[in-house]
Amino acid sequence: MDQIPVFFGLFAGGAGLAASHLNRQQRKITSHLIDGRRIKVVCVLKDPQAPRWTRGHFVIESGAWSWEPRPRQKNPLMLPPDLEVARVRELGLKESTRLNGRFLVMECTSAHGEVLVAALHGHAEHVIMALSRP
């Protein structure tokens, strides 16, 4: 019976440590964005006709954004410059088997067609703000 409070204490301490780390990481990214410094957001892209997701970084700099696919990736999908967010949604059932369950999917449109961009909940807002800038 004495082990229950110890187990609960360790569990609560671990959860608090994880929350503290994630909060600090989010504040750091936000402060870098406000200061105009370059930030990289881990994202995945998918062309609706393609079978696989392309992993890489969505790079946000002062007033501009770009896409850096992972090195050594065969035929990476590139983002068109006129990309606009049409809709934001949670992962679908089929997508959740291949991606992290905390990802948000942004359905984007451009002159070249539709592209799906997925990023973690805390980072997706930075991608949406970068894509909505004129």
At 104, is the secondary structure helix, strand, or coil?
strand
Q: What is the mean pLDDT of the chain?
A: 81
* Percent of the chain clearing pLDDT 90 (strictly above): 11
Burial of 88 (0-12, 13-18, 19+ CB in 10 A): middle
Query: Is the pTM value of this prediction over 0.85?
Result: no
Angle at alpha carbon of residue 22, lines to 20 and 26, rounded to 5° = 115
Q: For position 51, what pLDDT does the model report?
A: 81
Structure tokens at 36: 């105009």
Q: For position 81, what pLDDT does the model report?
A: 83
72 phi, psi to nearest 5 deg: 65, 25
How far apart are alpha carbons 53 and 98 in whole angstroms? 9
